[in-house]
Amino acid sequence: MKDIQLILTRRVKYIITIASLFVTSATLHLQFAITKYFGEQDSTRLALALIKSIHNNKLQGDGYIPFSTPLYIKFFYQALEHGWIEIANLPATMTYVSIISSSVVTICSFIIVILLTNSYLSAITSSIVLQFNPAFFVNSIYGFPSIVSLSIFMASLAIYYISWNREANKRITLISISLFLYIVSVMTKVDAVMATAAFFYLFLFTVRKMVKELSRH
């Protein structure tokens, strides 16, 4: 009975922490959100490609944009084409998507660190420190696919690591979900490919952990 209460208490604690991190991250970045204009040149170039596509009734882009962010530009093209958002609201909508994505990154960071270290303090500290990382902060307050891709990649990474603590059938399902999310993250921003090595690190970390546990018996 005490074990069940302990598990429930821990779960409630983690749920509250995750919800708090999401709200804290979103609130922090909303204070500095760039919603009236596009945050930088590539963001502006992407938006112009979208507006041009809507004008010509065909998805198109200049230079590397269509090839480096295929899912991101496709999503916003469909949203504009179907009238879900107005062109005038494009800067703000892109920014809000980035803010939500940065909150997801924060949550996934907390989950991954607590799984790796089994330390609540380390996980919560790393998530708070992340908010003040200059690159993370800047990418969170304007609309661009980098932070969106990162959020999906981090979710993929977290699910991949969790899968190794599950039974074989569940593990296959979770790894499949992780692979799907990884592909989505790459299609959102191809730069995500450069972080693929993180999966190999988690795999090696898991193997070493299993070897240590077996050596104790």
DSSP the chain: -HHHHHHHHHHHHHHHHHHHHHHHHHHHHHTT---SS-SSHHHHHHHHHHHHHHHHTS---STTHHHHSHHHHHHHHHHHHTTSS-GGGHHHHHHHHHHHHHHHHHHHHHHHHHHHH--HHHHHHHHHHHTT-HHHHHHHSS--HHHHHHHHHHHHHHHHHHHTTS-HHHHHHHHHHHHHHHHHHHHH-GGGGGGTHHHHHHHHHHHHHHHHHHHH-
57 or 160: whose pLDDT is higher? 160
pLDDT digits (tens, 9 = 90+) for 188-214: 999 999 999 999 988 888 888 777 766
Question: At residue 195, what are phi and psi to the nearest 5 degrees?
Answer: -100, 10
Judge residue 13's burial from the number of C-beta atoms within 10 Å of its C-beta, 0-12 exposed, 13-18 middle, 19 or more buried: exposed
Biggest alpha carbon–alpha carbon distance for the chain: 68
pLDDT digits (tens, 9 = 90+) for 86-120: 988 999 999 999 999 999 999 999 999 998 888 99
CA neighbours within 13 Å on the CB side: how many for 15? 6
CB 47 within 8 A of CB 90: yes
pLDDT digits (tens, 9 = 90+) for 119-176: 999 999 999 999 999 999 999 999 999 999 999 999 999 999 998 888 878 889 999 9
Q: What's the pLDDT band for 65 if we cut at 50, 70, 90?
A: low
Q: In the chain, what percentage of residues exceed pLDDT 90?
A: 58
In the chain, the number of structural domains is: 1
Q: What's the pLDDT band for 50 if we cut at 50, 70, 90?
A: confident
- 3-state per-residue secondary structure call for 59-85: CCCCCCHHHHCHHHHHHHHHHHHCCCC
11-15, 45-49, 56-60: least confident range: 56-60
Nearest to 102 by CA among 140, 155, 154: 140
Q: Cα separation of 123 and 202, whole Å?
A: 16
Q: Domain of 155?
A: 2-216
